[in-house]
Structures are given as C-alpha cells and as structure tokens.
C-alpha cells in the first residue's frame, strides 16, 4: 500500500512540474513530502561542491525559515563546513540524520545558531546532479527532539532524487511557457546581502539564462558584486541587462533580456563606433569606402534600432547595452 502511495506521489510531482509556477512548485513539493515524512522546516538547495569545505550556493528554497538563517551563516565566507552537509556529501544519495545537540556539541557557535532557529533534529541528503560537481541538497528539520527514523531516511532516498529532477523539469517547462523570445523585463527585490525577498517567474527564467545553474533565492554573486560596486547600479551581461535602484535599503532590480544585439549589422556597429570617435558622416564614408549618404543611412538605421533620439544618445545607449566596448 505504501509503495502505491509513493509511486502516485512521484507521478504527481512530475505532473505538477509541468503545470505549477516555478515558485509555487517548491511549495507544492514540500506539502506533498510532509504526507510521508514529518518535519517543521526545510531547505532545498543547488550547490556546486569543489571539496568538502568549499562550495557555492546556486539556488535556495527555504520552508518555514527566514532567509536570514543563511545570511547569518555567511555562506560566501564560511569558516567551518556544516558537519551534516559534509557527512551527506561523503555518503551521496544516502540520507543522514542526527540530533544537532550531539552533532554540534564541540561547536558552540553553530549550536547556538541551531537553537536560534529552533532546529533540534536534522535529516540531510546530497544528490549528484547531471553536471560535474553540482549537487541537489535537501535538509529537513524538526524543532522537537523526536528523531528521524530509518523509514524517514529511506523515504527521502526514494522521493528526493525525483523531487530534484522534477525541479529542473519545472524550471525548463515554465521557461518555455513564459516564452521570452521577445525583449521583456521582470522584477526582483533583494537586500544588500543578496537575499531575494521577491522575484517573479519571468525574472527567475531571465537570470537563469545568464547563469544556467542558478535558482532563487540568493542573487548570483557576480551580479550582486557588480551592482553594489558600480555607482550606476548597472550590470551588462551576455544575455541580460540589470538596472538596480535603492528603496528603503533594498535593491529593486529590473531585469531585461538582451535583444540579440538589437539586430544591428556589422556595418552599423562600425559606424556607431566611429561616431563615438568623433567622425563625421563624410569621414566615415571615406574610411569605409562608401558615400556620405550611405554612411548616414547606416547611422540612421542604428539610431532607430537602438531606440535613441540622437547620435550621441545612440552611442551612450549602445555602450550601456554592451553593443560597444565600455
């Protein structure tokens, strides 16, 4: 009977992956898992693990825990690896569980940290992904002293590999549904630690276009560092452009898909580059071996494609869009 329920759950998960939104699917997944394994809070994460004590969070979904739980741990500059994660990593595809008071008895800082977030029991599993060094990590937590049992560990070993596979399917499916073939924009709210407080599905897909292994809810480190170090709060990427503004100590990010070079021809880019260098239409025509009228034709086309009003405006916009070298 239990096997039939598990098989139905797995089928339901894959079905929901094709229909639920990217963010809603994680909520659905947690609620379904709770029908088999009891827990109070959880995390599903995508990690790139180079070694036992060196890893980078690529995606993060928290259930019943504040995002501050991870900013408190300072996951970008860790002094000491999580012992449960280390054990799960060394025993990939196997669930490991334990009483944190015992596991962390020699680490007062981490023990205080677990008590702060009311975590007493932990069950963790580390599942190798399709790409080298990429792992899906699931951690279930209980706030009581009721230990996870062998059946809980076995159920997670059966269900969670399918769950992480379904998360990838959901992401790809919803990405296709969003259909961002045209230049579109989306929104993200985050704090200056990079913790995402709000993100719409279109933004998840767009940022994922730039960094395929990324999932919410921590901004990619490259993006965050560029935004906060640049006074213009601007990131120009290969596939997206991000413009940020500050509201009440929060970052509001507007993410826009690049328009494939705005369809500028090679000759139009050459002309705009020469306008940038201060050349006149006549001089550009002489350099290219074409008439002044033809040079004007290319420049006008470029100005219109970029959506600029003047030549100077076109040069500045082309630089900001990454169409010309900065």
**pLDDT score at 76:** 36
Instruction: Give the pLDDT mean for 185-208.
Output: 83
**Domain 2-177 sits in which CATH superfamily?**
Transcription factor LuxR-like, autoinducer-binding domain (3.30.450.80)
CATH 1.10.10.10 domain locations along the chain = 262-320
**pLDDT score at 281:** 94
**pLDDT score at 72:** 65
Q: Are 208 and 214 in contact (CB under 8 A)?
A: yes
The correct answer on CATH 1.10.10.10 for the domain covering 262-320 is yes
| Selection from 12, 33, 49 nearest residue 148 by Cα | 33
Return the CATH architecture of domain 185-257. 2-Layer Sandwich (3.30)
Burial class (CB in 10 A: 0-12, 13-18, 19+), 8: exposed
Angle (CA) 49-51-57 rounded to 5° is 25
Report d(CA 235, CA 242) in Å as an integer: 5
**pLDDT score at 199:** 81
**pLDDT score at 137:** 94
Between 8 and 199, residue with greater pLDDT: 8
Report d(CA 21, CA 111) in Å as an integer: 36
**pLDDT score at 181:** 44
Between 152 and 325, residue with greater pLDDT: 152
Q: What is the pLDDT of residues 152-196, one digit of tens each?
A: 999 999 999 999 999 888 887 776 665 544 446 688 888 888 888
Instruction: Give the pLDDT mean for 71-76.
Output: 53
Q: Does residue 52 surpass a pLDDT of 80?
A: no
Q: Does residue 75 surpass a pLDDT of 50?
A: no
Instruction: Give the pLDDT mean for 148-154.
Output: 97
pLDDT band with cut points at 50, 70 and 90 for residue 71: low
Between 297 and 58, residue with greater pLDDT: 297
Q: What is the pLDDT of residues 210-238, one digit of tens each?
A: 888 787 778 988 899 888 887 778 888 88
Report d(CA 251, CA 228) in Å as an integer: 9
CATH 3.30.450.20 domain locations along the chain = 185-257
Q: Give the chain's mean pLDDT.
A: 85
Q: Are 287 and 279 in contact (CB under 8 A)?
A: yes
Q: Are 169 and 156 in contact (CB under 8 A)?
A: no
The interaxial angle of helices 201-210 and 22-33, nearest 10 deg, is: 100
pLDDT band with cut points at 50, 70 and 90 for residue 322: low
CATH 3.30.450.80 domain locations along the chain = 2-177
Q: What is the pLDDT of residues 292-301, one digit of tens each?
A: 999 999 999 9
Q: What is the pLDDT of residues 77-116, one digit of tens each?
A: 445 678 899 999 999 999 999 999 998 888 887 888 888 8
Q: Are 129 and 164 in contact (CB under 8 A)?
A: yes
């Amino acid at each position: 009977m239990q096997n039939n329920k598990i098989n139905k759950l797995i089928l339901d998960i894959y079905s929901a992956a094709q229909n639920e939104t990217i963010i809603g699917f994680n909520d659905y997944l947690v609620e379904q898992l709770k029908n088999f394994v009891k827990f109070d809070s959880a995390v599903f994460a995508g990690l790139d693990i180079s070694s036992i004590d060196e890893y980078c969070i690529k995606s993060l979904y928290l259930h019943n825990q504040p995002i501050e739980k991870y900013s408190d741990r300072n996951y970008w500059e860790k002094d000491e690896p999580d012992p449960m994660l280390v054990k799960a990593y060394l025993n990939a595809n196997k669930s490991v569980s334990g009483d944190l008071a015992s596991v962390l008895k020699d680490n007062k800082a981490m023990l205080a940290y677990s008590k702060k977030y009311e975590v007493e029991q932990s069950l963790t599993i580390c599942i190798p992904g399709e790409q080298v060094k990429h792992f899906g990590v699931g951690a279930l937590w209980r706030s009581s002293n009721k230990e996870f049992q062998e059946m809980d560990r076995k159920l997670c070993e059966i269900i969670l590999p399918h769950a992480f596979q379904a998360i990838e399917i959901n992401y790809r499916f919803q990405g296709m549904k969003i259909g961002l073939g045209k230049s579109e924009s989306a929104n993200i709210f985050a704090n200056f630690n990079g913790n995402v407080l709000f993100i719409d599905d279109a933004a998840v897909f767009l940022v994922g276009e730039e960094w395929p292994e990324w999932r919410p809810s921590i901004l990619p480190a490259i993006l965050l560092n560029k935004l906060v170090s640049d006074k213009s709060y601007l990131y120009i990427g290969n596939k997206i452009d991000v413009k940020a503004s500050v509201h009440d100590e929060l970052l509001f990010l507007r993410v826009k898909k690049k328009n494939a070079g705005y369809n500028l021809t090679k000759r139009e880019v050459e002309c705009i580059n020469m306008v940038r260098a201060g050349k006149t239409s006549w001089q550009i025509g002489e350099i290219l071996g074409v008439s002044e009228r033809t040079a004007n034709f290319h420049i006008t086309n470029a100005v219109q494609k970029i959506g600029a009003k003047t030549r100077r405006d076109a040069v500045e916009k082309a630089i900001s869009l990454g169409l010309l070298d900065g």
